[in-house]
Structure formats: structure tokens, C-alpha cells
Amino acid sequence: MFPLFNELDKNTSIMVVDPQDGSHVGMVHCANEAEAIEAIDIAEKTALEAKNLPVHTRMSVLRQVSEALLSQKEIFAQVIAREGIKTINEARKEVVRCVETLRISAEEARRFTGETIAFDQMPGSENKFGYFKRNPLGIIVAITPFNDPLNLVAHKIGPAIAAGNTVILKPHSETPLVAKMLVDLFDKTELPKGILQIVTGKGAVIGDVLVSDPRVRMVSFTGGKPVGENIIKKAGMKKIAMELGSNCPALVLSDANIELALESTVSGGFWAAGQNCLHVQRIYIQNDIYEEFAKSFIERAKNIRMGDKLKEETDMGPMINQKAAEKVERLVADALSKGAILSCGGEREGTFYQPTVLENVSNDCLIAKEEVFGPVVILFRFNDVKDAVEMANDVDYGLQAGIFTQNLDTAFTVADALECGGVMINESSDYRIDAMPFGGVKGSGLGREGVMSAVHEMSEAKTYCFNISKPV
């Protein structure tokens, strides 16, 4: 129990529960439409102040929060683990990443610059001199998911503040506590009030208000594809950045370092119980090593320790709620009804779903095409690398992919052919650092995150041109 979150009116609050056992973790206020509009009103009034906030102040704010977060690492990790789906060890790693995200954001504030333009490249413009610089957009609405409830919040707040914007944060209604804790750290700095606000509530109630208001200049959303498509329909003329998940492939070639491939794909397949946009969902294994790889992969999946998230020895926790676990159950049942082989797992108990490996899955199965967002990995065979690439691309997603091979020429060729936003060579799709551009193609989203890329997304170039008299 976290008393900090419990001094609220139960009639106007969201009760946050631990998905593992349904125990009460805390409460947050459940905002209504009028309160969402009020938040936009406040953001509009503070937009100019945010734009004019000196760079050294932006940097100082972000550094202070990163240092405060590091000093409270265990407290934040405990809340991440209690309200969400991560084990305590996974939660600790998320806090460390969040510290890094905020540090990088502080450095990007320093680099929020422009460059000169050679106007005299055009005949008749010899007396012109100028440059462009980047300006903040204004009001940004940031909508974040449950699976990374701290670091993905930082990936929106940090770049937005670095670029001089005002931010309205709408965290996922099932994991709002740690987001509120992070915003509270910002409130203890010299950041002027109103530049950063958090609005906790149900998306069905306040979502349309936040995304459709014309004063909002950008919506940055991480979540499911259906919700993302709905936001696009309602947002109007504003910038959109979206990361909408994936169905990530890994290609394991016959010359691969098998031990490395196993270690990377098992971790990528079952981290956070597969509730991860970079989750390794499909593994394509060259025929001559298939039996060896599949046997070892299945054995390792069977040895994953599922249980109490707060125990140090636990490898994997629950799904976010029973509805999510039942969805995985239905997808697996659909595959089995169409001839798939269940090599391990396949059982649900409440919100827990066992680490599951499927083989012989046909392309007409939903689980082969859609994002499972759960602890299920599908093993496929291939002979020719071109066929593997074609199968890997044959989905309406394209976030990241992994390739395992010792042949540099093959690595370059396959990486270029894969339709996705990032390719990890001799690493699974479930790898990123917080400084790199991050995003997908096709149904995986629009735009790029990663601190530097997000700062650019959250700003716009403005050109200045001077007509200077010819010197004597």
C-alpha cells in the first residue's frame, strides 16, 4: 500500500490495483472533460513562458529530476512493479533507463539550434544572408502506455521540455502512479507551474478532448493501433507521433552464433511477459540448425520462472489484466485449431500466462499476423534467406527486427531488405538505447522517438533571411 496516493475521494478516483493479485496499490484522481479543457487553458497561458525559458534552466530542471530519480531508484522500482507487469529486476532497469533518458534530454536542450543557409547559391541572392532555427510547437499532449510507465513518460516529457514546449501528460489509467511521482519531481524544480501537467483519467472520457482541441499542436502517443487510428481521425491539423506496436521477427541463419541467438531471443521473447512493442514474436530459423535451436529455445522457455514480481528470483510476471491474458489465450487457441503445435506453455491462470512456444503455425492464423502482446513466440523454418525476408515482411507492422549471422555481406543485404524502422544485427529486435531514433513503418506508427529525434519532432524550423546592402 502506498498512502501517498490514497487521500482522494473514491467517487472521483481511479483505484490502481496490482494485476498479480488484485490488491490495492493506490488511487489517482479521475479527470472529467471540463478538467481536461482546463489543463489545455493553463497550457495555452504558459506556452510563451515555456518558449522563453532559458536553455540553462531547461537543462537544470532535467538534470535535477534525473538526479532525484536516481536517489529514489528503489522506491520508483517498487511502484513500477506493484502497479504494472514488470518484475522488480525489470523495474529497476527501467528506472536506470529513465535516468539516462532525462540526462540525454538535458544535453539535447543544449543542442537545440539551427544553422546558416547559403542564400547566395541562387543567382541574384548574393546579398542575402540568413539562417534557420528551431522553435517549439507549443502545447503537446503525451499519451503513454502501461508497459513502460516511467521511461516512456520521460521519452515524451524530456524532449518536450528540452524544446521549450508545454506538456499535458495522460498516463495509462492502469499505471498512473509512477508517472505522477515523476511529475512531482519536476514540480520540485524551478520549472514554472503549468508548463508540465498530468491529467489522470479514462481515455474514453478525456481522450477526445485532449487530442481534438485545435490549441494542441502535437499528439505523441504510444499504444495500440486501433486507438492510434482513432486519434488520427480526430486530431485535426496538428503533428502526430505514434508508436503502435509490432510483430517483430528475428532471422537466425545457419552460420549464426547459436548461443548468442538463443540468449537474445529468449530474453526478447519473454521480457515483461511479452508485453513489449519490441517483443520477439516470430523467429525464422534456417533448416539445418532448426532442430538444435528449437530444442534449446523450448527448454529455456520452460525454465523461465513465473511468479511473484517482487521476488528477486522471478523472471516473468503477469499480464496487465485478465482481459489481456484471455486475448493471448484466444490467439493461441486459434493457432492450435489450425494445426499449430504447442511446444511448451499455453496455460493461463488468472492474469498469468505461461511462456509459450508454437511451431507449425500457418499464415492464416491471427497470431502470425497480429501483435500478440504476450509471452508467446512462434518458430518457423526456412531454407533460402530471401524467403525468410519475404515472410518477415509479410505483416502490416515494421518496428524492429533482428538478424543473427557471421556474414557481413548477408547482414547488410538482409538489413536493407527488411521493412522496419530498425535492424539489430546479432541482437534481437528487443534492443534499443534511448538516444537512437526509434519508430516504425507501416502499421507500427508515424515519426520517431529517441531523445534527439523527438526534440526535432516536437519543434519546427523557422527561416530568417536578411537582404544586406552591398559592401563598399
Tell me which H or E stretch contains 284: strand 280-286
What is the DSSP track for 330-381?
HHHHHHHHTT-EEEE---EETTEE--EEEES--TTSHHHHS---SSEEEEEE
Taking residue 296's Cβ as centre, other Cβ atoms within 10 Å add up to 15
The rounded distance, in Å, linking the Cα atoms of 243 and 228 is 8
Taking residue 419's Cβ as centre, other Cβ atoms within 10 Å add up to 16
The one catalytic residue among 83, 100, 108, 243: 243
The rounded distance, in Å, linking the Cα atoms of 292 and 311 is 32
* 1 SS3 class: coil
Tell me which H or E stretch contains 235: helix 225-235
3-class SS shares of the chain: helix, strand, coil, % to 5? 45, 20, 35
* 251 SS3 class: strand
User: Which strands, in side-by-side order, build the sheet including 239-243?
Assistant: 196-198, 166-170, 139-143, 216-222, 239-243, 445-446
Write down the residue that cell numbers 506453455 correspond to.
345
Residues 6+ apart with CB under 8 A from 323: none
Residue in 140, 141, 94, 132 with CA at minimum distance from that of residue 114: 132
Q: Which three cell numbers stand for residue 258?
A: 547459436
The one catalytic residue among 277, 344, 365, 420: 277
Contact (Cβ atoms closer than 8 angstroms) between residue 399 and residue 66: no
Residue 248 among the catalytic residues: no
Q: Which three cell numbers stand for residue 109?
A: 536542450
Residue 243 among the catalytic residues: yes
**Residues known to be catalytic:** 243, 277
